Each structure stands twice: as C-alpha cells, then as structure tokens.
Structure 1
Amino acid sequence: MQYKYDYSILQDQSSLKLLLKEISGHASEIDCDGCFPEMEFGLLRKSGLLTITLPGQALSFNSGKTKELLQLLKSIGKASLPVGRVYEGHINALYLISLFGNTIQKERWFGDAENNLFGVWNTQDTGGVKIHDLDNGKYMLEGAKTFCSGAGWIGRPLITGELISKSKKGWQMCVISTEKVKPIQSDSSFWKPLGMRASASYRMDFTGIEINEEDLLGPPDSYYQQPYFGGGALRFAAVQLGGAEAVLEETHRFLQKMKRTEDLFQRARIAEISYLTETGNLWINQAGIKLDEWQNKPDTTGQILAYANMTRTVTEDICLRSLQLAERSVGSRGSMRPQPLERIHRDLTTYLRQPAPDATLTAIGGYVLNQQNTDKLWD
C-alpha cells in the first residue's frame, strides 16, 4: 500500500524548526485542565509526522533509523512534553501493529494513521479490563483503564485486557475504531496531576464496547514480548531528554535576560546542565544504534533490555539533576508563572514518574552479574 507522504520534513530543517517553534509557543495555552493539543496534532498530521514510521517512509521501523526516531521524539518533547507523550504513544501503537498485525490489519490501521491518533492504554484500573469471547466472532469488553493519554481525542486506542475464551486465554491486545462503537466513557476527575495536564490522561471505561475478531492484535501475551516491551523505554526516555533540553534553554534565556551571565556560580551550573544534556544525547544516540545492530541478532534480548534500562535510568538522573540546577540558577523569580520554566518543571517532574524504577535498576545489575566477565558487555 502506498501512503500519502513520500517525503520527510526531517530533510527540511527550517520547516521542522518552525513547526517545533509553533508547538512550543502554544504550550502555555494548553496547560490547563480539560485541554488537549489539537492544534499541535493538526500540524503534525499536515507535516507527515503521524505517518513517518510507516513502510516506505523516512523513519520506517525496518529502516534502521532508531537513532533518528529518538532524536525526533526528543525534539517534540523539548517543544512540549504533553505533545511528546501523546506522540510517543502514537508511535508505540504503530510499532506494535507492525510487529504483530497481519497483512490486512496493517493495511487498515496504517491507512488510518494519517487522520487518526493512535495510543497505547495498558494501565489497569481496579479489576482491569476483560475481553469476553461471545463465540460468534465478536467480543465484549468489560472494565476500565487509567492514565489513558489522549483520552477521547485518540481515534484508535490500542488497549490490553484478559481474554476470557474457551479456545484461548492470556493478555490480549486489541485496537478499537472509536467511530464504530458506542462512546467510551471518559472520567477526567481522575486526572488531577502536578504537570502534563494537556496529555489528558483520563480514566476510560470500556464496559459494553463490542469488537470483532479482526480487532484483536496478535496472539495472547504478545504485548509483553521482549525485547519490544522493555526496549520501548528508549522512546519515552528520548521525550524526557527533550524536557531537560528545554530546561537548559529556558535557564539560559532567563540568565541572559537578568544579566547574570558573569556570575561564576551561574556559569558552573549552566555548564553542568549543558554536559548533562549532551551526555543524554550520547546515550540515546548510542542506544538507537545498538538497538538496530542487535535486534536481528540471536541471543541479544538481554543486552537490548539492559542497555534500554541503563538509558532510561541515566536519562532520569540527567533530568532530575538538571531541574535541581535550574532551580538554583533562576530562584523564585524564574520559577513563577508566566515563566516557561515553571510549567516545564511540573511537566517533566510528572513525566519522569515511570513504573518500577527500582526494578529497572536491579535488572541492569542482574544482567551484568550474570555475565562471565565485563570485558565485552555491550559489543
């Protein structure tokens, strides 16, 4: 199937820069309860970035350009973390479809990607989601998910649930065409965060939603298949690093405005944020290169997961330290509204709270200690 966009905005850096500037300039306007970056995703659609990972496109999943994809995610995260979060979910859903969809499903859902946002909603609410087999090629959903980024603006949510069937059981993925089912019940009262308000990560109740056999993605238990599940940490780490770069940019701008650039302590702090963010760039670039090298080689799942976990952990440390240094640099004056750093600080602090950070760290150590020596851990 041929997709509409056969060019890449990535080749036109001036256009990409203007796009990101427009997204960044609107970020404060959507920092409120009930808001969603509709204008921003309209721009991403027109630019072709919603379809850029599809077959034949500039960053298709089989093109060996994971590094470039991570840099794109970082750039969007720098412009707006909520936009970056929802965009990363869109890319994640398309990746899962590319891995586990059959030919007909890929043609259908990839064809939907230009005009529909996709997202992955996996976090269970109390009781979670169950997918009941009705024995006639149809399935009835029951239960709810939380932290559903994009909520009612996502036209193709990919959700997971416990499959209840006589013939097969397990953790099942499915993709819902929202215009073909009754309205999914959205509860925004759940979403009262410190930051990331515009990501609209609401509670969504799927009880009574009916889907068909062709809406089921992959066999049961595909969702957690490694290294695809754990390796996905690279994508959200890249978006987070964009937040750290935004912190650097706004701290730099504030210090210049306040004429504090000759202060030796300010120079020391800005130097540290600078080398921290560049360290993050080296990490995500190297992680992207290694992922492309390893993913088609046998027996590299452990390496991929350990390296992705290291990248995620280092990125979190970089972001947290950058926030601390920025706070000291700008003080109370630079941390209040309408200064952009106030919003970026809240958004990044919230976005950094990803599941199981301690388990992630110990998994790295477990991998290393299980090797015979440390001579060629990452070769």
Structure 2
Amino acid sequence: MNHPRIDQAAMGGAADLDALCRALARHAPHQHRSGDGIDRSVTLLRQADLLTDSGAADPAATARRLVRIAGANLSVARLYEGHINALRIVEMHGSAAQTARVAEIVAKGAFLGVWGADGAEPVRVDGHALRGAKTFASGLGTVTHAIITVAGDDAPRIGLIDVRDASRHHPGDWAMRGMRATRSGGHDFAGIEVDEVDWIGAPGCYVTEPGFVSGVWRIAALQLGATFGLLDAARRHLGGLERMGAEAQLTRLTPPMMRALAAETFVRRAACFGESTTNTATPEQGVALSAAARLLTEEIAQQTIAAVEQSVGLVHFSQGSETGRMAEDLATYLRQAARDALLLRVGRHTLDTPRPVWEMLP
C-alpha cells in the first residue's frame, strides 16, 4: 500500500489540506479492516508540520482543520486531537522548561496523547512507584508519551510519561466495533518509578477552567467533521446509483446537512471562547459554549447516521460499506463521557440566570 509524502512546508493553504485529507481518506478502509497503518498517517501529519503547534494561537483555524481531518479519517483525527490537546495542557500548566522539553521530543519524533480514563484500579502513587492502569487509551504503539491523570488524596495530578513499553499494552481490552484503527486499549502503569513521571502543574490544575470542559470544542469539531464525511460518502454512493436527486433522498439528507453547515460557525466560535481569545469571554462562557457545541454536534451526527441508514438501505450494513464503516466509527466516538452533566451545566449557565440568553454571544 502506497503512502505518498505530502511535500509541504506547512498546511496553511486549502489546497495543501485537501491533499492531506485525500491521502488520509484513502488509508482509512485498510486501517479499519486491519488495525494497521495509522503510524503512516501520523507521519503524513508530521510531514505537513501539524504536530508542533497546539492550535491555541488560532483556534478558529484549528477547529476548521480538525473538522476537515475528521471528515477524511476520524481515527487519525482522534489521535491528532489528543496530541494537540497534550501540547496545550503543557502550555497551560507546565513550566517554560517543560514546554521546551516537550517541543524538543516532538521535534525528534514523539507523538503525544492524553489518557484520563482509569481501569478497574485507578492509577495512583504507591510509595516510590505507580500502581493501576488506564483504559480506552488511544494510540497504543503510536503514542510515545502520554499525559495521564494520577489519583491523589485531595485532587488528581497529571504527568507526562513514556508509554512505548509494548509489554504494558493491552489492545485486547478494546472490544468496540468502531474506532478500531485508533489502536485503543489498556495500559498497565504498575511498578513504574515515580521519578520517571514528569509532573505537570499543581494538583487539581487539570480540572480547572479554562482548558478542561472549555476544551471540548475539539471533540465537537471531530464530531462535526465526521458528520460531513458521512454525508459526503452517502452522496457519492447514491450519486453513483443515480439516486441522489430523488426527492425522498433529498428530503432525508438535506435537514442534517443544513444543521451541520450551521454548526460549523458555532464550533469555531466555541473554539475562540474556549481558548479565551476574546476580550469579552468569561471562563464559564467558554465552558458553556464548548459544551453546547459538543452536544449540538452529537445530536446532528445522530440525526445524520439515521438519515444515511434510511437512504443507503441494507447495503449500508454490509461488509466493506464505506458509509457503514464511517457511521460505526462516528457512533462509537459520540459516546463521550458526562453528556448529561454537560447539558445541565449549559442549561444552568444560559437559562437559570437573570441574564438574557443573547448575552451568551457578546
């Protein structure tokens, strides 16, 4: 299988991003079937000079980039989002020396992730070593260094740790039908010396705002991008059968398409507020808008999946179906944690208040 180099100094131009997304989309079916080859897609991101920047300087452009990459290959986008999230966490909570060290290892080929979900035994310090494990750890064998949460008596700590030891990987723990190409699974941290952890920030810093819930605009961007990708796949399939122009198909697919197009602007706005790049945005506004964007894009994605199932029909569920593969990945990715808690937080900030709703958009 050929994996062409993207010979660009940077991916600032639309044509450059188009070329990258075409390459990532070509690789997606093989990666889904075999669970292999995602490293080479990460190499394309590196060649495109996308791994050195957290995206915080221009969050609107970062949101657009995440949307495009997720539309081409959601599994690659998931790993890319984890990498830039890790860079941002170090920028926000680490020292200048730590930020420089991380930049150095990334320049030498490191790929980062954020692993927060604990296994049956949460990761914690036990004397001079760690104990416990992480689950749903994306990028086993691809991520070289992960930011992990470590339980504490009062508040969780975070640290950066080398996770290349394959003997600690448990890919069999990932029994999901979707997102198989992400190489997710468990990672055992038992026995790793505390001195091997590069501790970042003060205890509890990871769950402060801005940066924690206000950062879920990145998830919203991936959900939206994968929705666009699924709509395009359905369009191509039905167009190839000369059925896309049928009134029934247009009636099914046009409503979610319109909502997805409208949501793109909302996601970019949430990105700017979530990163506190506007003078008028408060941390809680950033949280509420980012959470709302995540919830809205989830709803649109689910509407799109249902519409595509009806439009494509039984072949959608066949082995090798492009729309089936993309819908399965998207449905799996949509199951993010704490959905109801986010909905309540958005409602309390926007409705259970004396302020008019429109003030959410200063």
Q: Is TM (by shorter chain) over 0.5? A: yes
Aligned residue among 119, 128, 141 for 1:125: 119
Secondary structure at 2:156 match in 1: strand
Say if 2:157 is the partner of 1:172.
Answer: yes
Match of 2:71 in 1: 78
Aligned equivalents of 1:355, 1:250: Cα separation in 2 = 28
Query: Contact 2:132/2:190 (CA < 8 Å) preserved in 1?
Result: yes
Match of 1:360, as an amino acid?
L
Q: 1:124 to 1:334 in 2, by over 3 A?
A: closer
- CA offsets 1:139-194 (integer angstroms, 9 cap, x no match): x2111010000023211111111247xxxx63111111346xx6561112211102
Aligned equivalents of 2:302, 2:333: Cα separation in 1 = 11
Match of 2:101 in 1: 108
Say if 2:38 is the partner of 1:44.
Answer: no
Match of 2:328, as an amino acid?
R
Q: Equivalences for 1:154-193 in 2 at 5 Å?
A: 154-163=143-152, 170-178=155-163, 185-193=168-176
Match of 1:153, as an amino acid?
T
Match of 2:11 in 1: 9
Deviation at 1:304, TM superposition (A): 1.1
Aligned equivalents of 2:9, 2:45: Cα separation in 1 = 14
Give the gaps of 5 or more residues in structure 1. Answer: 1-5, 54-58, 135-139
Aligned equivalents of 1:91, 1:354: Cα separation in 2 = 18
Match of 2:68, as an amino acid?
S
Deviation at 1:309, TM superposition (A): 1.1
Match of 2:245 in 1: 262
Q: Equivalences for 1:167-246 in 2 at 5 Å?
A: 170-178=155-163, 185-212=168-195, 215-246=198-229
Aligned equivalents of 1:230, 1:77: Cα separation in 2 = 20
Aligned equivalents of 1:354, 1:292: Cα separation in 2 = 21
Aligned equivalents of 1:377, 1:309: Cα separation in 2 = 13
Match of 1:91, as an amino acid?
I
Deviation at 1:294, TM superposition (A): 5.6
Match of 1:287 in 2: 270
Runs of 4+ in 1 over 6 A off after TM superposition: none
Query: Contact 1:176/1:211 (CA < 8 Å) preserved in 2?
Result: no
TM-score (norm 1): 0.87
Q: Report percent identity of matched pairs.
A: 29
* Number of aligned positions between the proteins: 353
Say if 2:328 is the partner of 1:346.
Answer: yes
Say if 2:362 is the partner of 1:376.
Answer: no
Secondary structure at 2:122 match in 1: strand
Query: Contact 1:294/1:304 (CA < 8 Å) preserved in 2?
Result: no
